Amino acid sequence: MPATPAVPRPDTSLVRRARKVNRVLAETYPEARAELDFTTPFELLVVTVLSAQTTDRRVNAASPALFAAYPDATAMAAADRAHLEQLVGPLGFFRQKTDALLKLSAALVERYDGQVPASIEELVTLPGVGRKTANVVLGNAFEVPGITVDTHFGRLVRRLGWTEETDPVKVEHAVGALFPKRDWTMLSHHLIWHGRRVCHAKKPACGACTVARWCPSFGTGPTDPVVAAALVKTQGPA
């Protein structure tokens, strides 16, 4: 395991500002949660792996048939490859994703009796599972606090001036130092929801942003409230 990056003690004013932003985003998105559908830790692990290079909505559309056929790691490890490719085909990159699911399921069966482990140290040893996926599973299936550094999260914490880091592991630790552990999972949801709906990569809706007053990047996108409102999405990616 790589050493945990050394994180300097954050400035008190930055801590206060970051926590205020999180509180306002919690009020803005009281329904914030993982937007991938799942009922078990195995299902969440699989759909998170499948969500790479596609949208949560497409994964949610494909997952009922997938889990009806292969409800657990034992069943998926023994899956007919052609059938599995057919089920994940609508998500794109179906050969690579089929490979990933077969290897992941086989590793779960061989190492953990088909059960998803509940520690980041064990999760990241599984094929195709990095810290981002591991933290999604820990936070949402096991209630173990974790920070999910996806593209939205990384973009927002840099725009908000919380860190200048670009490496996801360094971002995770730098932002984690600003918040108590109990807040990490919901913080991830709040920022990801805001990134998908308002703080877009190319044209953020600055004039419709509830945390604009604490954002040093205000003005990156349109500041006129009417123009900005037209950019706001009411839900996650289609």
Q: Which residues are catalytic?
A: 132, 150
The residue type at 44: L
Record the tokens describing residue 1, joined without a space.
């395991």
**Dihedral sign of CA atoms 117, 121, 127, 133 in order:** positive
Exposure of 2 in the CB half-sphere (CA atoms within 13 A) = 8
Record the tokens describing residue 19, joined without a space.
């926590």
